[in-house]
Amino acid sequence: MMPVETYTGKDGTLLIYLDDAEFNNLILEYLRDVPKDQWPSYLQDSAQNMFRMTGIGYYPNGMATDGKVYIRWKWRGDAELLAHEYGHILGHDHTDSLSIMNAVTQLRFSDPHNLEQKAKDNFPEPWRKHIQPHEAYRRMVIGGLTLSAVWAWMI
């Protein structure tokens, strides 16, 4: 495995960013020994077909196992994904509630266990390098759209 970047959290958890090919191989290797009928519902063919058609649902972009968090490189700026995967390291399972531990990204509306802050505190360097610029850009875009709307309303 050839990581793009690797970090060690303050608690010793490894955070490993992988390119698409390496991440896909990791997922396939992990699932190889699990009978398909025992895969979680969000990895079954029907759920994956729905995701491919609509973009809604679950597609693995992160994984936590054996004290390591693996994240697909192009998702390195996603604070919720890092918090979700780190939540697994801390012992949290997937939930059906609308929280950060929901397997479906579009259903993550709350963070009752304060996992984003815990991930930020544990992984300060990658947070500063990848997540803060991403969040700043998102705020800049939202702010720009708001100013444009106000300006258009004033004309």
Per-residue confidence at 136, pLDDT binned at 50, 70, 90?
Answer: very low
pLDDT in tens, 16-68: 999 999 998 888 888 788 777 777 666 667 766 766 777 665 668 899 989 99
CA–CA separation, 123 and 82 (whole Å): 9
Structural domain for 134, as ranges? 5-154
pLDDT in tens, 98-120: 999 988 777 888 899 999 999 99
Say how many domains are in the chain: 1
| DSSP conformational letter for 108 | -
Q: Do 77 and 134 form a contact (C-beta atoms < 8 A)? A: yes
DSSP 23-41: HHHHHHHHHHTS-GGGS-G
Q: Do 73 and 81 form a contact (C-beta atoms < 8 A)? A: no
Overall pTM surpassing 0.85 (yes/no): no
Mean pLDDT value across the chain:
83
For residue 82, count CB atoms less than 10 angstroms from its CB and return exposed for 0-12, middle for 13-18, buried for 19 or more.
Answer: buried
